[in-house]
């Protein structure tokens, strides 16, 4: 297994560690646990940046990486957002918008793939990913409620916008399905 794929596997392994630290911290009443969980989330997020750069620079793109890398990203972000819903800092409808967008775009990509077409990540999808990661990091910190609400808004708006953009730019894929 090449280094980028190992980094993807590491990101997946860090997800239960991240969640475990959050649950342990709540049970133990340890505010420091939130910072440890934040560190794990940041490390996991950085593996995403690193594995992509290494894979492209060294031409190590694999089928495993194409499948597992975006899956690991979605799993990590969804885990954090599930935590936010559980502790009441994110409404469930916001998480539902994120999950529905991910399923819809994945479905669109599958239909396109069946037709021999690849739908690459667009600019708005990259903005969505970056802004979501930044907002999740902020939301893991003890921030004011207003900033938390702004972060939820940024996540929802960039998620919905990028989802709509994928479908508008690739309407022909659906029309011919």
- Are 169 and 117 in a shared domain? yes
17-58 confidence digits (pLDDT tens): 999 999 999 999 998 999 999 999 999 999 988 988 898 899
Token duo for residue 37: 């969980």
Token duo for residue 99: 């999950």
Token duo for residue 113: 């793939």
Q: How far, in Å, CA of 82 to CA of 84, rounded?
A: 5
pLDDT of 38 reads: 98
Q: Is residue 82 part of a domain?
A: no
Note down the domain range covering 16: 1-69
pLDDT of 26 reads: 95
Return the sign of the alpha-carbon dihedral for residues 142, 99, 5, 122.
negative
Q: Is residue 130 part of a domain?
A: yes
57-68 confidence digits (pLDDT tens): 998 888 888 889
- Give the residue from 94, 97, 95 showing the smallest Cα distance to 105: 97
High-pLDDT (> 90) share of the chain, %: 77
Give how far Cα 88 sits from Cα of 29, 85, 152, 166, Å: 17, 5, 12, 30
pLDDT of 172 reads: 92
147-164 confidence digits (pLDDT tens): 999 999 999 999 999 999
Number of folded domains that form the chain: 2
Q: Is residue 123 part of a domain?
A: yes
């Amino acid at each position: 297994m090449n280094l980028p794929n190992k980094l993807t596997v590491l990101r997946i392994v860090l997800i239960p560690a991240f969640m475990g630290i959050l649950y342990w911290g709540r049970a133990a009443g340890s505010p420091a646990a939130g910072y440890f969980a934040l560190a794990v989330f940041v490390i996991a997020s950085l593996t995403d940046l690193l594995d992509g750069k290494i894979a492209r620079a060294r031409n190590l793109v694999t089928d495993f990486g194409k499948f597992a890398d975006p899956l690991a990203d979605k799993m990590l972000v969804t885990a954090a957002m599930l935590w936010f819903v559980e502790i009441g800092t994110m409404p469930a409808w916001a998480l539902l918008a994120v999950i529905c967008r991910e399923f819809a775009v994945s479905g669109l990509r599958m239909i396109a793939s069946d037709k021999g077409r690849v739908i690459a990540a667009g600019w708005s999808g990259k903005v969505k990913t970056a802004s979501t990661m930044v907002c999740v990091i902020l939301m893991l910190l003890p921030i004011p409620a207003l900033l938390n609400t702004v972060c939820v808004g940024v996540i929802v708006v960039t998620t919905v916008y990028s989802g709509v953009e994928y479908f508008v730019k690739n309407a022909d894929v659906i029309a011919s399905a």
